[in-house]
Amino acid sequence: QRLDLGARFGTAELPEMGTIDMRDEAIESAHWIGPTLVKEVLARVAEGQQAMLFLNRRGYAPVTICRACGHQIGCDHCDARMVEHRFLKRLVCHQCGETKPIPVKCPSCEVEGKLAPVGPGVERLAEEVAEHFPKARLAVLSSDLFGSARALKEKIAEIAQGEADIIIGTQIVAKGHNFPRLTLVGVIDADLGLQGSDLRAAEKTFQLMRQVAGRAGRAEEKGAALLQTYQPEHPVIRAILGGDEEAFWAQEAAARQAQGVPPYGRMAGIILSGPDLQPLFEVGNHLARNDAALRRIGAQVFGPAPAPIARVRGRHRVRLLVKAEKSAPLQGALKAWLKGLKLPTNARLAVDIDPQSFL
């Protein structure tokens, strides 16, 4: 049963939403807050109001690169780059949690002092904010900066009482907190969620941006939300601005229906994982060739191919995708298809029906 919540809580109105076209912003290298947003933040802070800057990236910098040889520091166990966390003084793998100290020498060419951070995380953004607004009081909210849920809750209560002028936060600021003095939300990189192969990317970005924007102007004061973007004409960005949720969902639904993907069709992800790649592909190819059980229900199999995250914790990952019509008896067909399958030593097979994530 569908219930519509037709009004926002309290007296607040929806914030005014707008984009800042980053192609027109004169921005220094290794900086991410454009002059327009700087000006808007200054105006709010001067009025004794709060501004929030949102960047959905933990840590200091997503990539550490060697300026001598171009090497990027990766996790030893995963197909992922290590993220610098300056607060922890370590590099962290966001896939497996492995950490290591930031090396002095490049692990590839052994040249010293050439490793440099590339791209922003919230910790680096905080440095830039301090540079632009030296007198403002800053609060950084990121899940890994607080030892306990209680510490985080206390910080949030302080902010709500006005003990910060500028709040810098990751996804944890998107939900539920009520900051009565907050009248401006600036999204540093609205394009971040639009990349990638996830069929839910548009839906997730739409929801997250609307949620974050909704933090502004929850009390008596009218709020504004500004999205920094390099593609202001992107249909998802347009939908976020337009705020017509019905239209967005209808459009998204039509696209999914046309492609026969969830919720209008069914999908199953088959992940084969193991220490050696070759035997995984052999099993994958064997499955792709012997697909009679799937064909009987009209389902198709795609792959094998390396999974989007091709290695985690030292294990290679190979993926097959099965696509079927909504009414097809997928579960039974998968069972028949995989029955009697012999896996190589130490290999595992995982089946995820209508997966929430395609990584």
Q: Residues in the site for Zn ion, rule: CB under 5 A?
A: 66, 68-69, 71, 75, 77-78, 93, 95-96, 98, 106, 108-109
Closer to Zn ion by CB, 98 or 352: give it.
Answer: 98
Taking the least distance from each CB to Zn ion, the nearer of 93 and 126 is: 93
Q: How far is the CB of 77 from Zn ion (least distance, A)?
A: 5
Q: What is the DSSP secondary structure assignment for residue 2, as one 8-state letter?
A: -
Instruction: Give the separation between CA 344 and CA 278, rounded to whole angstroms.
Output: 10
C-alpha neighbours within 13 Å on the C-beta side of residue 66: 18
| Residue (108 or 357) nearer to Zn ion, CB | 108
Closest CA to 186 of 60, 57, 36, 49: 36
By beta-carbon proximity to Zn ion, the closer residue of 113 and 329 is 113
CA distance 282 to 6: 54
82: DSSP letter = P
| Cβ 82 to Zn ion shortest distance, Å | 8
Smallest distance from Zn ion to CB 60, Å? 18
Q: Which helix (H) or strand (E) holds 285?
A: helix 277-289
Q: Which candidate, 351, 266, 350, places its Cα nearest to that of 315?
A: 350
Chain centroid offset of residue 234 CA: 18
Beta carbon nearer to Zn ion, 69 or 247 = 69
Output the smallest distance, CB 320 to Zn ion, in A. Answer: 24
Phi, psi angle pair for 235, to nearest 5°: -55, -35
Give the Cα separation of 135 and 37 in Å (integer): 17
Min separation Cβ 68 and Zn ion, Å: 4
Minimum CB distance to Zn ion, residue 67 (Å): 8
- Distances from the Cα of 338 to the Cα of 132, 176, 243, angstroms: 59, 44, 45
| Residue 172: DSSP 8-state | G
Closer to Zn ion by Cβ: residue 93 or 324: 93
141, burial (CB in 10 Å: exposed 0-12, middle 13-18, buried 19+): buried
Q: Which of 144, 134, 180, 186 is nearest to 160 (CA)?
A: 180
Smallest gap, in angstroms, from Cβ of residue 326 to Zn ion? 37
42: its two tokens: 């200054």
Q: Which is nearer to Zn ion, 106 or 287 (CB)?
A: 106
The span from the CA of 21 to the CA of 240, in Å, is: 15
| CB closer to Zn ion, 95 vs 229 | 95
Q: How far is the CB of 46 from Zn ion (least distance, A)?
A: 45
